[in-house]
Amino acid sequence: MTRVTAGSVVFEQVTKRFAGFDAIPNLSLTVEPGTLVTLLGPSGCGKTTTLRLLAGLEHPTSGRILIGGKDVTQLPANERDVAMVFQSYALFPHMSALDNILYGLQASGMNKREAQDRAREGLKLVGLETQGNRLPSELSGGQQQRIAVARALVLEPQVLLLDEPLSNLDERLRRRVRTDIRDLQQRLGFTAVYVTHDQEEALAVSDKIIVMKEGDIAQQGAPESLYHAPNSVFIADFMGEANILPCEVEQLEGSDAWVRLGSQRYRVRGNGVQPGTAQLSVRPQFITLREEGAGALRGEVTHCTWLGDHIEYEVATELGSLFIVDAHMEQQLPLNSAVAIDFKPQGLALIAG
Ligand SMILES: Nc1ncnc2c1ncn2[C@@H]1O[C@H](COP(=O)(O)OP(=O)(O)O)[C@@H](O)[C@H]1O
Ligand SMILES: [Mg+2]
């Protein structure tokens, strides 16, 4: 039986400098045992470097890395008790699925009999027990990905590392495989560090998301907290589309704040913002438009795009242009029409000015 020894991960003031370029200026982070933590951020922000530092494929310029409480900073990759799933899968094309899984086990010195048992279990774990004799080219992209995950898991690592594991799959399959990976991780309870640049993917699979920007942590927390309580315009924008509007914080009430937006007052999470001028992130799905009547704001439709299951609008207002997504589609508002605009409080997030 494949056993799981879920280890923790700690980075203590880790830096990584490449030929005069600070890829990681100063990074401290913690991954709790048995959780899936995502490193999320735009291309070039240091996600792969962080994962390679953890895997021992790169070594820090300074700082310490601990896995399962043990300092591994000086240890080579093969002594770290982690396994990596690569973006390209890196399966051996001339070996069957089973032999691909077997390879790493035998390379680690396990006897043939035990390795074969373990490899078969690995196939079963990912639901491919009947496909063991196939070559990678005879498997779908999603199945190849599952073989790559099985090959890593049978090594019983303390931490599983996944670098953009879905990027070679088409859109539909991506959703399937990300659910599979998350199910497997929750069922077996292993620790995983998952790298992606796709915020939806991060929201879907993570216990905690660490958003990186230029090698630093821009914000970290549970998916909901990043979406609803972004600490900056960068995070609000990165975690889904957002309109950023100037607003006035009139009053604090407990951990909430009263803000004025147009003619209306809204009670929103305070997010530590003080009374005075601030910014409000407004999610496009939480704005409603009507042709008639009074709203928080008035505006004029400047663009309208019908996209089958939703309509996207751009509306000019006194607070600037608003991007609005209408998924209900009870009516399509014509270009240049005057509209009344309202905001649903659950789509508003306060950010310091
Ligand atoms: N071996 C290297 N030598 C020099 N610069 C590197 C090397 N590896 C990565 N970098 C640089 O470090 C930064 C972070 O890269 P990377 O970790 O690959 O980003 P991400 O995975 O988030 O796209 C980039 O600017 C990249 O060009
Ligand atoms: Mg990368």
What pLDDT does residue 293 have? 80
Ligand 1 pocket check: which of 21, 38, 53, 198 to mutate, most ligand atoms within 8 Å of Cβ?
A: 21
Percent of the chain with pLDDT over 90: 76
Of 184, 201, 228, the domain-final residue? 228
Ligand 1 pocket check: which of 49, 52, 164, 167 to mutate, most ligand atoms within 8 Å of Cβ?
A: 49
From the CA of 58, give the closest atom in ligand 1: 1
Claim to verify: residue 265 and residue 185 sit in the same structural domain: no
Locus of tokens 């879905």: 166
**Domain membership flag for residue 180:** yes
**Domain membership flag for residue 233:** no
Q: Tell whether the model's pLDDT for residue 301 goes beyond 70.
A: yes
Claim to verify: residue 46 and residue 80 sit in the same structural domain: yes
From the CA of 43, give the closest atom in ligand 1: 23
Claim to verify: residue 178 and residue 41 sit in the same structural domain: yes
Q: From atom 1 of ligand 1, which residue's Cα is the shortest distance away?
A: 18
From the CA of 39, give the closest atom in ligand 1: 22
Distance 290 CA to ligand 2 centre (A): 44
Claim to verify: residue 39 and residue 126 sit in the same structural domain: yes
**Domain membership flag for residue 236:** no
Of 182, 199, 228, the domain-final residue? 228
Q: Which domain holds residue 260?
A: 241-352
Q: For residues 280-292, give the mean pLDDT.
A: 93
Q: Tell whether the model's pLDDT for residue 294 goes beyond 80.
A: yes
From the CA of 195, give the closest atom in ligand 1: 21
Which CATH number fits the domain that encloses residue 328? 2.40.50.100
Which CATH number fits the domain that encloses residue 196? 3.40.50.300
Please tell me the distance from the alpha carbon of residue 353 to that of residue 350, in angstroms, as a whole number: 9
Q: Tell whether the model's pLDDT for residue 10 goes beyond 60.
A: yes
Distance 333 CA to ligand 2 centre (A): 42
What pLDDT does residue 50 have? 98
Distance 3 CA to ligand 2 centre (A): 29
Claim to verify: residue 109 and residue 216 sit in the same structural domain: yes
Q: Tell whether the model's pLDDT for residue 2 goes beyond 70.
A: no
The whole-chain average pLDDT of the chain stands at 93
**Ligand 1 interacting residues, C-beta cut-off 6 A:** 18-19, 21, 23, 41, 43-49
The pLDDT confidence band at residue 263, using thresholds 50, 70 and 90, is: confident
Distance 44 CA to ligand 1 centre (A): 6
Convert the pLDDT of each residue in 120-176 to its tens digit: 999 998 889 999 999 999 999 889 988 998 999 898 899 999 999 888 788 888 888
Distance 17 CA to ligand 1 centre (A): 10
The pLDDT confidence band at residue 338, using thresholds 50, 70 and 90, is: very high
Q: Tell whether the model's pLDDT for residue 49 goes beyond 90.
A: yes
Claim to verify: residue 198 and residue 121 sit in the same structural domain: yes
The pLDDT confidence band at residue 3, using thresholds 50, 70 and 90, is: low
The dihedral over CA atoms of 175, 180, 181, 185, expressed in degrees to the nearest 10, equals: 140
**Domain membership flag for residue 141:** yes
Q: From atom 18 of ligand 1, which residue's Cα is the shortest distance away?
A: 48
From the CA of 163, give the closest atom in ligand 1: 21
Say how many domains are in the chain.
2
**Domain membership flag for residue 1:** no
Ligand nearest to the backbone CA of 50: 1
Claim to verify: residue 203 and residue 286 sit in the same structural domain: no
Cβ neighbors of 97 (< 8 A, separation 6 or more) are 123, 128, 131, 132, 133, 134, 135, 136, 139, 143, 147
Q: Tell whether the model's pLDDT for residue 281 goes beyond 60.
A: yes
Claim to verify: residue 57 and residue 194 sit in the same structural domain: yes
Q: Tell whether the model's pLDDT for residue 4 goes beyond 80.
A: no
Locus of tokens 């043990």: 70
Q: Tell whether the model's pLDDT for residue 264 goes beyond 90.
A: no
Convert the pLDDT of each residue in 70-125 to its tens digit: 999 999 998 999 999 988 888 999 999 999 999 989 988 888 999 999 999 999 98
Claim to verify: residue 28 and residue 155 sit in the same structural domain: yes
Claim to verify: residue 302 and residue 170 sit in the same structural domain: no
Ligand nearest to the backbone CA of 41: 1
Q: For residues 333-342, give the mean pLDDT.
A: 94
Nearest Cα residue to 23 out of 66, 52, 3 = 52
Claim to verify: residue 125 and residue 56 sit in the same structural domain: yes
Distance 163 CA to ligand 2 centre (A): 7
Claim to verify: residue 48 and residue 172 sit in the same structural domain: yes
Which stretches does DSSP call E strand in the chain?
Answer: 9-18, 21-31, 36-40, 62-67, 70-71, 82-85, 159-163, 191-196, 208-213, 216-221, 243-253, 256-261, 264-269, 276-282, 287-290, 297-306, 311-317, 320-326, 338-343, 348-352
Distance 46 CA to ligand 1 centre (A): 6
